[in-house]
Structure 1
Amino acid sequence: MPTRRTASPIRSWETPRSSLSGPNNANSSPAPLHQRILLPSSATATKSPRILHSSAHSTLDPLLLDLIALALRAYVTPWYNGSISRDPDKDFLRAVTTVLVHVVQALEVRLAALDWVQLVTRDVPDLLAAHYEDWDIAHERAEGEAAERLFDHLQSHIAVSLSAPFTESTSTPTSPIAASVDKVYLRTLVDQLLKLLLPPEDLHAETERAIVREILVGVVFGTVYNRVTQPWFLHGLIAKQLEAHEIQPRKTPVADSLAQDSAPAGSTGIAGMISNVGSHLVSAVAAVFSFAFSGTPTLPADPPTTKSPIHEPSLALARAVLPRSALLDQLLRTLYLPLFLLSTPLDALVSSFVRTRLATESTARAVLQGAIRGMFPHEGWPAPKEEDPDDEGREELKRRCEEALARTLPESLPGLLFPSLPTPSEPPDSLAPRLRLAQHLLRPLASHTANVHFFVSLIDLVVGKVFPELLVAPLD
């Protein structure tokens, strides 16, 4: 017996034809953006359905619905309607919205149970530290493509493979190597996620699930993932973000119709979304210092959830990222003892900050607003696809990234911690010492292989935390 579709919050939009009125009164406020996209033009604006269970639903629900509606208008309506409208009453769009709302609600429950303190203060720093350490080991033992292959061996992953293998007659590859992610692995991963998120009636529809899976694997993981792992993309993203902070652009809220809200200069598509989220995280990092060193901080009653002191992963990450020097080693060893003695209040302080400043409604709102502005910067429509830069353009993006990062570093930092970086011929205020330090900090980003490995590991980390039932116990 087929499974009946359960009642959905989207049903609250459906109004009988006989009760539909004419155009809204001139003095009444216009309907929200998602209603104008998802409801027929003859329908009277009604109260939007509730999506989230948390108290932040009044703020986040409209943004979620706007993001869903804009995505459906840009990516679903064109191929579904074609030259002849198959959905004049927009029933299909509302049906897809119903499924997406169910997915969002399932994710909300899982994200509410996620240990954000463990993820932010230990898991991600550990992942970054291992990434830098393996990169340095590979380049200490080999050069060029041999270093790329050694790094791939150090961070071996079942989903990542390198092209242009060595031939039997020569010890050099026949063409430049490139990292790729196995689509079978991605299909399996997406299929398992859909089984945990989709409503039962949609999960049992194998054709529907297969179409959604192939769209995610081919578009999201295929097109988007291959682009964001390119060194030139990351260089350009960091450069635009840091340059935008230098000029302090004007911040505006998301306009209701998105007609008056444009993306920051140079921020389009996924880059703009990440750029806006990055701005919020930079502000959060600055806030933690003011919060940590305030006169009488209030400590939470519940103890931190991490098993080891929170400062240990951060110190390990600093040691892996920064250049090696005797002064830096001595400084970290000096800091270790007071941090260890203050580990209990410090852990409670950082845990409180993560819970009250990062995993909050304001952070979620910034992420959603950044996604809307970044993905649909042209009056609610996606930005036209930009051509990939040539070799000269990629070098320019790399140079801009390095110089922008160098300008953010204190002038005295290279000479204070790393006296071997500056040369006597350079003036004290020269950018060269800071530029060399910036190049060292950005060293893994220049490798597409390293970027692919990092993003695959990051996806595995996040998926394992949000969907722990998908984890496989390691072999003894």
Structure 2
Amino acid sequence: MSVAGTATTNLAHRARQPTRSIRSNPSSLVVEPTRLPAKQPTLAKRLLFPLLPPDASLPPLLITPSAHSELNSELYDFIAIALRAHVNPWWTKITRYDKEFLPHITRILTDVVRVLETRLISTDLSPLVFRDLPAILNQHCIDYRNARSKLLTSYASGGTASLPLLFHQMQSHMAISPEGVVNEEYVRQAVDNILKTCLPSEDYEPEPERFIIREIVVKILAGGVIPRVTQPWFIFKLMLDFLGPESSDDPAPPDVQPTSPDNDSRPTITRATSGHLSFQTIAIFVLSAVRSISGICLTLIHAYKQALETIKKVNESKPLFPQSIPIRPDPFGLGDIKEESSQSTNPVFPGTLDPSTPLPSGTIPPSPPHTRTSSMVSSLQSLPPVVPPPPSPPPPNYTHASLQLISTLLAPPLPSLTSPLTQYSNSVSLALRHVLSMILNLLSPFLSRLLPYLLYTRVFSSNMLCVMVKSARKALFPEGWPAPPPVDPTPEEQIELRKKLERRLQTFIPGPLTHLLGPTPAAVSYTISSMLDPLSSQACNAHLFVFVLDLVLVTVFPEMGVMVEGPVGASDNGSMLSRREGEMTPPRPNSRPP
């Protein structure tokens, strides 16, 4: 019995001994480092730079050393998505193994982007933004109102002409039809001229690459941008997005009260109010007033310091583009315009002495010789003539065109005789507009320096340009592919969208400035509605887009604009030129690209 018990105990002890496995080996207890997943290359690296290592950064696209790296990445993403959407679908059907075609197109686009960057940096865009664009918008509003006033009259071909046709007669353009359809060939010619200017001859002469790049840009502009940005509802939606959503803390109308199904079952709680003010109520009122006043004072102090700092920076900043007097060609062969202007400023009347005409010799008798005075006069006459420095050009006026646009917008057309608005006088609004115009005219020298400073420090900054490129990429290529054709809202939805914008503008304008729009809320609403009327026609908006496109192209590429010479007929402003300087003209048939 004892031997058997001992054997059983030994077997149980052996069974309880832990078995050593391979994992329990001390040499195998070393913790292996976790491997991070490899970083996936971006779309721009995979398509545009297939030979670039995944951890390497993209080469700089812009030549400006201060360009933001995020802007460089956004531009490359935009190019990669555009090439994948418009080149890959048909190029992969031809060959699936070629990886050099898209990088070659990218190299050509890099040259175009860098030339455009150089042009934009060397061009002063302040006249374009603050003088030319407001002038075009002002003329657009005036022509729209004139065309609308001619509806159903004898000026409208017996009342049969539509509003787009009447507007087209006032702003005719070769690139657009009376129905508001932009000619795709005009856009193609403009893009081809840009490529001819930006690309070297060895890149412009080969037709395949040039045609592909040109058609991509034409497809984006004519097929995606123009049909969308000329829609009135799209413009109104952009305005609503810019103004932001309506604040939820707006007070509800007094006649609207929240109702619930169990309001009748709940008893109303009434608080008894005493007839006299307690000390606690007075203290709370005083402390609240002190808090409000201190907050207002702090806001005013901060605004005052910010204004002083901005004024100091504007006065100390030097102009990026020195002003120079432009010398324009004389179309009529009348000599130099500068000489003509100098003579016109100092006219010569009959019977007076012209100082520029030399006197004939012998007119003044010589003085007696051998005198001290004669020697001094002769020494003074031997000195070289002192040429006065040329007069400095006048500072640019960037407020005149904007004031004209504001005056046009704040002066709506007269309502009908049956309208209730005719019984109110607008004398107060007119007086306030004149006062505002006088104040802005007095501040014009400072505003002409402040506006370019804000344009180049706030609008054309790297961060803002990056936001613009990102917004354009998301609008044109949502989810990385071209957006489907926009679905137009129904007429009822468009009317509701415009009414919402009118209400938002009426609440956005500060209270004291509403007197500029009218004496009553009905007059203010009518003025705001009249402001939005010039943008309510797609055909008229297409005319505006084409003129703005011409203006931008001629500003950045002055060689694309020409001036037609010769008395081909008097225009509306009395000029003998059929086209203004800088207006784009159609190319000749022999220069038309295939």
TM-score calculated relative to the size of structure 1:
0.71
Q: CA deviation at 1:459?
A: 0.1
Question: What residue number does 2:542 align with?
Answer: 452
- Which of these residues, 94, 113, 122, is aligned with residue 104 of structure 1? 113
CA distance in 2, matches of 1:40, 1:348: 47
Higher mean C-alpha displacement, 289-298 vs 435-444: 289-298
C-alpha deviation, 1:225, in angstroms: 1.2
Paired letter, 2:79: I
User: CA 1:223 to 1:374, structure 2 compared with 1: closer, same or farther past 3 Å?
Assistant: closer
Q: Which amino acid aligns with 1:330?
A: A
SS in 2 for 1:52: coil
- Find the counterpart in structure 1 of residue 408 from structure 2: 320
Q: Structure 2 vs 1, CA of residues 420 and 474 (structure 1 numbering), >3 Å: closer, same or farther?
A: farther
Shift of 1:134: 1.5
| Deviations 1:35-71 (CA, angstroms, capped at 9, x unpaired) | 1443449954433212211123352222211221222
Q: Which residue of 2 aligns with 1:128?
A: 137
> Which residue of the partner structure matches residue 79 of structure 1?
90
**Pairs within 5 Å for 1:355-394:** 355-378=456-479, 380-394=480-494
2:233 corresponds to which residue?
Answer: 232
Distance in 2 between the 1:448 and 1:367 partners? 24
Q: 1:417 to 1:48 in 2, by over 3 A?
A: closer
TM superposition shift of 1:129: 1.2
2:126 to 109, 117, 127: 117
- In the aligned structure 1, how far is the partner of 2:450 from the partner of 2:52? 54
Question: CA 1:26 to 1:125, structure 2 compared with 1: closer, same or farther past 3 Å?
Answer: same
- Establish whether residue 442 from structure 1 lines up as the match of residue 453 from structure 2: no
Per-residue CA deviation, residues 7-26 of structure 1 (Å, 9 max, x unaligned), is: xxxxxxxxxxxxxxxxxx73
Distance apart, 1:354 and its partner CA: 2.0
Offset at residue 445 of structure 1 (A):
1.3
Matches within 5 A, 1:1-400: 26=36, 31-40=41-50, 44-59=54-69, 60-82=71-93, 86-88=95-97, 90-143=99-152, 145-162=161-178, 178-244=179-245, 296-298=311-313, 299=315, 300-302=317-319, 305=323, 308-324=396-412, 325-378=426-479, 380-400=480-500
Cα distance between partner residues in 1 of 2:213 and 2:52: 31
Give the Cα–Cα distance (whole angstroms) in 1 for the partners of residues 485 and 180 of structure 2.
Answer: 23
Counterpart for residue 273 of structure 1: none
SS at match of 2:530: helix
Task: Identify the match of residue 516 of structure 2 among 414, 417, 426.
Answer: 417
The change in CA–CA distance for 1:310 and 1:116 in structure 2 (over 3 A counts) is same
> Matched residues in 2 for 1:419 and 1:42: separation?
63
Moved more, 293-302 or 451-460: 293-302
- Comparing 38-47 with 65-74, greater Cα deviation is found at 38-47
Q: Which residue of 1 aligns with 2:573?
A: none
Distance 1:289 1:313 in 2: 28
Unaligned stretches of 5+ in structure 1?
1-24, 163-177, 248-287, 424-432
**Secondary structure of 2:177 counterpart:** strand
- Pick closer, same or farther for the CA change 1:353–1:105 going to 2, 3 Å: same
State how far apart, in whole Å, the 1-side matches of 2:442 and 2:91 are.
63
What is the Cα deviation at residue 78 of structure 1?
2.3
Structure 2 segments unaligned to the other structure (5+ residues): 1-34, 153-158, 249-302, 324-393, 413-425, 566-576, 578-594
1: CA distance, partners of 2:48 / 2:209: 21
Whether the aligned pair in 2 keeps the contact of 1:292 and 1:349 (CA below 8 Å) is no
Q: CA deviation at 1:365?
A: 1.8
CA distance change for structure 1 residues 66 and 208 in 2, over 3 Å: closer, same or farther?
closer
Cα deviations by residue, 1:256-291 (Å, 9 ceiling, x for unpaired):
xxxxxxxxxxxxxxxxxxxxxxxxxxxxxxxx9996
Question: Do the aligned partners of residues 207 and 48 (structure 1) sit closer, same or farther apart at CA in structure 2, a change above 3 Å counting?
Answer: closer
Q: Counterparts of 1:334 and 1:301 in 2: how far apart (Å)?
A: 31
Structure-2 change in CA distance of 1:318 and 1:328 (3 Å): farther
Query: How far apart are the structure 1 equivalents of 2:175 and 2:484?
Result: 31
Question: Does the 8 A contact of 2:147 with 2:163 survive in 1?
Answer: yes
Q: CA shift at 1:294, angstroms?
A: 5.5
C-alpha RMSD of the superposition:
3.3
TM-score scaled by structure 2? 0.58
Q: Structure 1 residues 362, 218: closer, same or farther in 2, change over 3 A?
A: closer
Give the aligned length. 384
* Residues 235, 397 of structure 1: 8 Å contact kept: yes
Task: Assess, with a 3 A threshold, how the Cα gap between structure 1 residues 40 and 232 changes in structure 2: closer, same or farther.
Answer: same
2:25 alignment counterpart: none
Distance 1:51 1:419, change over 3 A: closer
User: Which letter maps to 1:448?
Assistant: Q
Moved more, 109-118 or 348-357: 348-357
Give, as a single letter, the amino acid of the residue that structure 2 aligns with 1:124. Answer: L
The one-letter code matched in structure 2 to 1:361 is S
Relative to structure 1, the CA distance from residue 339 to residue 420 in structure 2 (aligned partners, 3 Å threshold; closer, same or farther) is: closer
Cα deviation for residue 359 of structure 1 reads 2.6
Indicate the SS of the match to 1:297: helix
Tell me how far apart the structure 1 counterparts of residues 502 and 430 of structure 2 sit (CA, whole Å).
Answer: 25
Aligned-partner Cα distance in 2 for 1:289–1:197 = 47
Once structures 1 and 2 are overlaid, which stretch shifts more, 128-137 or 148-157? 148-157
CA distance in 1, matches of 2:551, 2:237: 26
Tell me the distance in 2 between the aligned counterparts of 1:391 and 1:337: 42
Corresponding residue SS for 1:192: helix
One-letter amino acid of the structure 1 residue matched with residue 544 of structure 2 = F
- Read off the aligned partner of 1:187 and give its amino acid letter: R
SS, match of residue 465 in structure 1: helix
Structure richer in helix, relative to its length: 1
Question: What residue in structure 1 maps to residue 337 of structure 2?
Answer: none
Residues 227, 317 of structure 1: alpha-carbon distance in 2 compared, 3 angstrom cutoff:
same
Distance 1:295 1:368, change over 3 A: closer
Shift of 1:111: 0.6
Larger relative contact order (C-alpha < 8 A, sep ≥ 6)? Answer: 2
Distance 2:246 2:322 in 1: 33
Residue-by-residue CA offset, 1:174-209 (whole Å, 9 max, x unaligned): xxxx22223343332222122112342331123443
CA deviation string 1:375-430 (max 9, x = no partner): 3442x44445443333334334333333333332335644x23446535xxxxxxx
- The separation in 2 between residues aligned to 1:187 and 1:397, in whole angstroms, is 34
Identical amino acids, percent of aligned pairs: 34
Q: Which amino acid aligns with 2:312?
A: P
